[in-house]
């Protein structure tokens, strides 16, 4: 499909720079199967679901993936910023760096500052490979848990560029950019639909008879990048690691057999569930990489309802929600959301989508 079909104009004022407080006070646009739109709030979520439905949340935890340092070993030592996007093994990460033109294969970047106490005060990494669009492979001087601790000490949570370009990250973001479910470290971006949940909302959902199960998908930065190709068939998705246990698969299959619906909290949960689903819709245990790319025409096998935030123009995520509820319906919903003052992107409001059965 043509990428420009998924474009739309978004006023800068629609981009949320801070989350709602409390989290479950955010707005929620309900997009019903017939295209009817309802202005609601996140706190209304339980009444839109039925007893026996199962919410699937992503328990990935955002790591301090943004590192600042300088190139060493040559006459000049320019400043370098790196955002870790995917772990390759115990000591190597794929990263996006800027300015990429200042680095060549074999260069060494020293992260941290000399006056800060962290292991030896700094962390070195060699540029093992340099790809396109600022992507490099960094081989660090530490390995395993020692490397994890150094990154945690020297790094900071990576805010999306549409927020970081308008204000500096601060201490509030360290907690604001984690969901209440976050336990499994490995994401470089938050599964943002989960940011709306609070203990009070969880209590209300369970009192309604709605189950909550966990899966893990370590979100990569590539998920949120605009599609640059003119046709969706030419876009290459970054792969992400995820897991879904046999126990969770059993709970979901039993719920569906009893007439319950599967509700994905966020596109990350949906993508993992669809990756784990067999042709007949049975959800199977899953552990590994997925690069599933969902565009209109995709036949959904696992997910009935999707809670998600409002996404970027021309992004794979807007393509996904257009596949779920229909492109025309989502264009109408987004136009309404902009007009009605909904807040967009990671710290913004949410929409509850009921799958278009056609």
Q: Tell me the residue length of the chain.
A: 358
Q: Which two tokens stand for residue 168?
A: 């500096």
Residue 112 per-residue DSSP state: S
CA-to-CA distance for 341 and 109, rounded, in angstroms?
44
Q: What is the pLDDT of residue 117?
A: 43
Residue 114 has pLDDT above 60, yes or no: no
Give me the residues paired with residue 126 across strands: 108, 139
Residue 115: count of CB within 10 angstroms of its CB:
6
Residue 302 pLDDT grade (very low, low, confident, very high; cuts 50, 70, 90):
very high
Domain boundaries, the chain: 3-62+174-354, 66-156
Residue 225 has pLDDT above 70, yes or no: no
* Span between the terminal Cα atoms of the chain, in Å: 18
CATH architecture of the domain with range 66-156: Beta Barrel (2.40)
CATH for the stretch 3-62+174-354? 3.40.1780.10
Residue 179 pLDDT grade (very low, low, confident, very high; cuts 50, 70, 90):
very high
Give the mean pLDDT of the chain: 92
Least confident range from 85-94, 267-276, 324-333: namely 85-94
Tens of pLDDT, residues 7-43: 999 999 999 999 999 999 999 999 999 889 999 999 9
Q: What is the pLDDT of residue 120?
A: 56
């Amino acid at each position: 499909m043509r990428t420009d079909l998924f474009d739309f104009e978004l006023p800068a004022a629609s981009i949320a720079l801070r989350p709602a407080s409390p989290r479950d006070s955010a707005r929620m646009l309900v997009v019903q199967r017939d295209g009817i739109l309802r202005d609601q709030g996140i706190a209304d979520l339980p009444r839109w679901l039925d007893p026996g439905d199962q919410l699937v949340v992503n328990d990935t935890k955002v790591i301090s993936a943004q590192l600042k340092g300088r190139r060493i070993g040559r006459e000049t030592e320019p400043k370098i910023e790196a955002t870790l996007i995917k772990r390759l093994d115990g000591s190597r990460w794929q990263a996006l760096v800027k300015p990429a033109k200042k680095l060549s294969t074999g260069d060494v970047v020293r992260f941290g500052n000399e006056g800060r106490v962290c292991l030896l005060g700094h962390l070195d990494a060699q540029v093992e490979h340099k790809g396109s669009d600022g992507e490099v492979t960094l081989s660090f001087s530490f390995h395993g848990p020692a490397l994890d601790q150094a990154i945690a000490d020297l790094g900071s949570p990576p805010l999306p560029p549409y927020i970081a370009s308008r204000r500096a990250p601060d201490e509030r973001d360290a907690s604001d950019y984690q969901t209440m479910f976050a336990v499994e470290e490995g994401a470089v971006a938050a599964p943002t639909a989960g940011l709306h949940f609070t203990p009070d909302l969880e209590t209300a959902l369970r009192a309604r008879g709605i189950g909550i199960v966990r899966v893990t998908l370590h979100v990569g930065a590539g998920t949120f990048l605009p599609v640059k190709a003119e046709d969706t068939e030419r876009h290459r998705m970054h792969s992400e690691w995820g897991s879904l246990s046999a126990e969770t698969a059993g709970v979901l299959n039993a719920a569906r057999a009893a007439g319950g619906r599967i509700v994905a909290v966020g596109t990350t949960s949906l993508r993992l569930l669809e990756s784990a689903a067999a042709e007949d819709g049975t959800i199977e245990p899953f552990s590994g990489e997925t690069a599933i790319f969902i565009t209109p025409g995709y036949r959904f096998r696992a997910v009935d309802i999707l809670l998600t935030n409002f996404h970027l123009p021309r992004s794979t995520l807007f393509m996904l929600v257009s596949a779920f509820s229909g492109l025309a319906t989502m264009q109408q919903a987004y136009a309404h959301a902009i007009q009605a003052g909904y807040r967009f992107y990671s710290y913004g409001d949410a929409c509850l989508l009921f799958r278009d059965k056609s």
